Amino acid sequence: MIDRVSLTGAGGTLATIGLGQWNSIVGIIAGVFTIVYLGIKIAELLKKK
């Protein structure tokens, strides 16, 4: 017979591993958007000069 606490702990561990990957993906996407945004702003500033 399997204990509920054991199942909850195992589920939490699996969820943490799964969410950890999403956290990395979201961080990469945010970094790319930041680079693009700053690139556009720098290009606008260089055009003004």
Tell me the DSSP string of 16-46. Answer: HHHHHHHHHHHHHHHHHHHHHHHHHHHHHHH
Report the alpha-carbon distance of residue 13 to residue 32 in Å, rounded.
Answer: 29
What is the token pair recorded at 30? 């945010």
* pLDDT at 35 (0 to 100): 95
**Number of alpha carbons in the 13 Å side-chain half-sphere of residue 8:** 3
Encode pLDDT of 3-47 as tens digits. Answer: 777 778 888 877 777 676 777 888 899 999 999 999 999 999 999
Q: What is the pLDDT of residue 1?
A: 56
Whether pTM > 0.85 for this model: the answer is no
